[in-house]
Chains A and B, each alone.
Chain A
């Protein structure tokens, strides 16, 4: 394995968040300035490396790094187009979330530990994206669980402990299932690197039963993190964690890791042909559809803002699974691009929810009256995010829904149209009241519980306000300039062309 820059780059990308993480662990609590410098420098180094890899991949360069690990299953880091998109998303949103978290966590203790695990979590996510075969994927998948657990229980309160235990039970169970699935697959087809058409098609006739069971086990394992219906229980509980953690978990790391895993398994392990041959797409589609509808209905019943956003995430992520299970190229583009769009919009919503809680102590939906007057910018960003979620053009959400619908019609799964329309209506049903209360209700007579940053130039701390505005702007820009080659849509098209060999 020659040590040229193309082989070392993937490792450097992972190290660019791992090393700052370890350094931050070592920095004492009081040295806030040094911690911020290490953190931000790590982020910028990662962004540079990602840009470098982006340029390389677009010129068709191959980035891969292998170490011998198990007989017949080495540890492989592969920088392909799909991986790159996920890394780009996670690096940008890591920057935003870090800026946000610096302000959000200003008063709370144990920040070294928080930011340390934060960067470990991002390096695990990047590892998942770069994983070149299922063994490496499993390795980073389990490391992600270990890195995110301390974040979920960061506050250390009894509720946080309870949420942490539930989170562990689900994710460790899922991890064990995934391990069994991968081991079963390994005993049938070995663990070669990911191949666009999948490496299982030739073996389908011989052992279709074990391949189906392996697929089922893997989907269950990945479904825990992708919050598919029966396995979503941990997500609403994890809302106890501080806002940047819920933002990171929902928009970037854990949930997307599950969805990304499903994309890898369906496209690069089984391949379209094998999944259709084994008739696995139908059950996956029904599962995704039920999740979308069920989660949206549950969201309606929630009174707490973050709980409602959590259920909305569960339903939105299942769009990706739905798109993947539709197995058409257009739907695939919709699914992959939704990975990015949902990230941008959801993180905006969480930032704003965090702002409301941090500045005015608002947690319930009833308390959102008259927010538009007190915090116009945050409310504006919240509205952009909410409308995007509903699918109002020109915000990003509309584009992914559009591709999903056309994709569904292309493979003449008409009932999917009903599901998507129904879900759009439900989205409107649970987001509109919040927007309406914010803009058209008078602020509460007795004032808000807390009124921090009152009377300053900006409605709240500038580092709390900037990230949601930037991500809201990005959601709009990505929607408007969807056509250009450098937008997530263009990049997804590039991926799908390679995947489907068009």
Chain B
């Protein structure tokens, strides 16, 4: 557990220190120290993962040494350790891009990205409902602050994002208050055996789910996401889409798979799965129609979260371990693929000087590596073998197809694949058009393009570690 706390404290410390000696350091050194702290945090997270794997079960820690009911309890399960490693890896990749690519990033990005990393780590580890509320709030504030990095055009969507995020947190808080009023517990593991399906618990869980769905931009409540993620700087939108929306999804999973009584989870399962399927198609269709590159990628986030929501819904309906594995494989594969997609989109946007998809004509010649990164990352979103996306979709499909009764869900997954293939290949096909090429600026930024490609290669490399990932997640995350 100490390594996990180290992995949590390092970014917070470095964020605070960077803010403290803000004037003394040049931007280069700020970036350097931020990346060093991410590397240290990644190493600590990896060691924490080894600890959990050796220990076999999840490791608990009562903060402050008080007894179990009173103190805030941190839980390091195999899932949260894996998510710690994933968060650190994403921050490292995107940090490298932000640091080395010519597009550059505002100086304040670095302390904010350390803070974001710290709050996400606190979220993965916490097993206390109110503590989760505060980590959600931390996440929301840093995300909005980072969206505001790109200047005035981002203020309006950022303000809207913040207002909705505050409202969502209050929904969640009211739910926590009702649960505390009813059961007198705030700790997730103590609440789990005691909850029954009565009016107050139903109301509380409904409130909390609405709040979390709004924060995670899950289908009916996703309207704030595209403007916010499009107007943010490239590196920031990669972080937001790849990581920040996953925090509330994690809490939604904790809520329904542990806190809620099983019969309530059984009832909400199909509803979430259907919402996921609709998100898949609705998000995909609007991604196909939108004329701007970054909006396509933003709507694809909404669509791909539909996959995760469907996996969560089916997990709650049937309690199958494969669904659990599929859910978290989706989260990780989507995170890496989306980061690469956004970085590639940002690179192409700055090299070709256009925000529209039409401007990408002939991109395979003018910015070949960036377009290759876009295509490879898109391949993982669609789920072409041997990418991480394919791994997740395969594990999801297997139980669906075993009983004929579940085939409609499989058709939903098929629909999702076709829709995501449509909006990815709409962009990729356009880039092969040599008739009306959009000429790039004098020397496109090679380093930036290769760094955009890095996460995509990683998501395709996931196939090699597929077996290990699946075996790690098989523990059910408890």
Contacts and interface: CB of A to CB of B under 8 A. Distances in A.
User: Do A and B touch directly, given a CB cutoff of 8 Å in the complex?
Assistant: yes
B53 interface: no
Given A68-B467, A69-B467, A135 B385 contact: yes
Given A71-B467, A168-B425, A180 B418 contact: no
Interface stretch (B261-269, B427-435, B441-449): B427-435
A97 B281 CA distance: 42
Nearest to A210: B404
B432 A161 contact: yes
Interface in A102-131: 110, 113
Contacts of B213: none
Given A69-B466, A156-B433, A173-B418, 6 more contacts: A75-B386, A138-B385, A146-B379, A161-B430, A172-B382, A183-B410
Contact of B435 (A149, A157, A172): A157
B421 interface: yes
A161 B397 contact: no
Contact of B399 (A68, A135, A187): A187
A139 interface: yes
Contact of A176 (B365, B398, B421): B421
A187 B432 contact: no
Interface in A38-96: 67-71, 73, 75
B277 to A, nearest CB: 16
Contact of A187 (B398, B433, B434, B466): B398
- SS of A interface (majority): helix
A479 interface: no
Interface in A281-328: none
A269 to B, nearest CB: 16
Interface string B393-421: 01101110110100000100010011001
B134 interface: no
Given A70-B394, A71-B467, A75-B386, A153 B414 contact: no
A161 B399 contact: no
Contact of B364 (A113, A142, A179, A188): A113
B464 interface: yes
Given A67-B464, A69-B463, A157 B429 contact: no
Given A68-B467, A71-B470, A146-B384, A161 B421 contact: no
B421 A183 contact: no
Given A176-B421, A183-B394, A164 B429 contact: yes
A165 interface: yes
Contacts of B364: 113, 150
A6 B463 CA distance: 24
Nearest to B470: A71
B331 interface: no
Contacts of B49: none
Interface string B29-63: 00000000000000000000000000000000000
A179 B391 CA distance: 12
B398 A69 contact: no
A71 B414 CA distance: 21
A187 B410 CA distance: 12
A139 B425 CA distance: 18
Interface residues of B, number: 36
Instruction: Give the contact-size bracket for chain A.
Output: 35 or more
Task: Name, among B404, B432, B466, the residue most crowded by chain A CB atoms within 10 Å (CB to CB).
Answer: B432
Interface of B: 362, 364-365, 375, 379, 382-386, 391, 394-395, 397-399, 401-402, 404, 410, 414, 417-418, 421, 425, 429-430, 432-435, 463-464, 466-467, 470
Contacts of A176: 414, 417-418, 421
Given A70-B391, A139-B386, A146-B379, A180 B429 contact: no
Given A69-B386, A173-B418, A183-B394, A156 B434 contact: yes
A153 B463 CA distance: 29
Task: Name, among A135, A168, A183, the residue most crowded by chain B CB atoms within 10 Å (CB to CB).
Answer: A183
A429 interface: no
A158 interface: yes
11 contacts: A71-B467, A110-B434, A146-B384, A153-B433, A157-B435, A161-B429, A176-B421, A183-B397, A183-B401, A188-B402, A209-B404
A157 B375 CA distance: 21
A423 B54 CA distance: 68
B318 to A, nearest CB: 14
A69 B470 CA distance: 10
Contacts of A142: 384-385
A110 B418 CA distance: 31
Nearest to B322: A71
A461 interface: no
Given A71-B470, A146-B379, A172-B425, A161 B433 contact: yes
Contacts of B470: 70-71
A69 B385 CA distance: 10
B266 to A, nearest CB: 23
Contacts of B391: 70
A363 interface: no
Contacts of B401: 180, 183-184, 186-187, 210
B222 to A, nearest CB: 25
B432 A164 contact: yes
B397 A180 contact: yes
Contacts of A113: 364-365
A186 B429 contact: no
Interface string A184-216: 101110000000000000000000011000000
Given A67-B464, A113-B364, A168-B425, A180 B414 contact: yes
A156 B398 contact: no
Contacts of B384: 142, 146, 175
A374 interface: no
A321 to B, nearest CB: 25
A153 B429 contact: yes
A155 interface: yes
Contacts of A135: 385
Contacts of A69: 386, 463-464, 466-467
A164 B466 CA distance: 33
A186 B398 CA distance: 7
A164 to B, nearest CB: 6
B365 A110 contact: yes
Interface in A138-164: 138-139, 142, 146, 149-150, 153, 155-158, 161, 164
